[in-house]
Amino acid sequence: MPVRDGLGPARLRLRGGSVLVELADRFGESAAAKVRNGEVVMPDGTVVGVETVLPPGAHVYLYRELCEEVPVPFDIPILYRDDDIVVVDKPHFLATMPRGRHVAQTALVRLRRELDMPALSPAHRLDRLTAGVLVLTTRREVRGAYQTMFARGLVHKTYLARACVNPEFALPTVVRSRIVKQRGRLQAAEVLGEPNAETRVEHLGDGLYRLTPRTGRTHQLRVHMASLGLPIAGDPLYPNVVDVAPDDFSTPLQLLAHRLEFDDPITGARRVFVSGRTLA
């Protein structure tokens, strides 16, 4: 199924049995209506009918219904663009790609619509609350090369953050720990075991820190700064969870993906991209 209005189809894993009955049970009459209207398909493109029965673990695809979302009132400046990639300066509060309640108000969907590029796809992710340099690929043919480069840790990333100052704390330092993020829990946690996350922390003065991650665990920088007793300013999750209204954009997380460097996997050229944003 092609991208439609910037949004690709949702992939659903089935419990097994009548597809019509299961979708009606899980998602209501609107989903059942999609089956009746021939808007649900199998991976091979076969249209699911009202009498279709599939085994447990089978997958179907359909376009989700868009719920009303709070608009994120910030632009997405383009830092660089060629035939293979688009590099943008993602604002705070904008998720990289659709997930949960954030669908249309994501960098991916907005850019697909604004640039009229339905094949656009992120090469990596930034947290919704983190701003800065984000690389997206323009064509399916090159997508794997860029995503593999990020997955293998071949990209040098530098972040900036603002936090309190502890003059008795010796910096720079390298923080190593094991971080686990469980599904359904807002916070990631440090647990006993072999370290899987490493961050170099430097204080540049005046509460401005340079963070250089050598791994890419979920919320890694936020967890490591909080573990040092230097939680990043504006963080609603670490060290404590703070309830923030969906339309409250007054206190951005003071974390910025400031610089990305890598050897282009297609051309071999050295790429360096720097955010134009600053931290308050």
In this model, does residue 175 exceed pLDDT 80?
yes
- Clarify whether 263 is annotated catalytic: no
In this model, does residue 67 exceed pLDDT 80?
no
Quickly state the pLDDT bin for 169 (edges 50, 70, 90): confident
pLDDT value of position 117: 95
Q: Which residue has the tokens 């669908």?
A: 103
Backbone angles phi, psi at 21, to 5 degrees: -65, -45
In this model, does residue 5 exceed pLDDT 80?
no
In this model, does residue 102 exceed pLDDT 90?
no
Q: Identify the active-site residue in 127, 247, 263, 264.
A: 127
Q: Of 86, 92, 95, whose CA–CA distance to 121 is shortest?
A: 86
Q: What percent of the chain has pLDDT over 90?
A: 86
Helices within the chain (DSSP H only): 19-27, 29-36, 107-115, 140-151, 220-227
- Taking the C-alpha atoms of residue 231 and residue 205, their distance in angstroms, rounded to an integer, is 16
pLDDT tens for each residue of 123-168: 999 999 999 999 999 999 999 999 999 999 999 999 999 999 998 8
Q: How much is the pTM?
A: 0.87
Quickly state the pLDDT bin for 64 (edges 50, 70, 90): confident
Q: How many CB atoms lie within 10 A of CB 251?
A: 15
Dihedral angle computed from the Cα positions of residues 241, 242, 245 and 250, in that order, rounded to the nearest 10 degrees = -120
Instruction: State the average pLDDT for the chain.
Output: 94
List Cβ neighbours of 113 (8 Å cut-off, separation of 6 or more): 5, 6
pLDDT tens for each residue of 212-263: 999 999 999 999 999 999 999 999 999 999 999 999 999 999 999 999 999 9
pLDDT value of position 168: 83
pLDDT tens for each residue of 147-157: 999 999 999 99
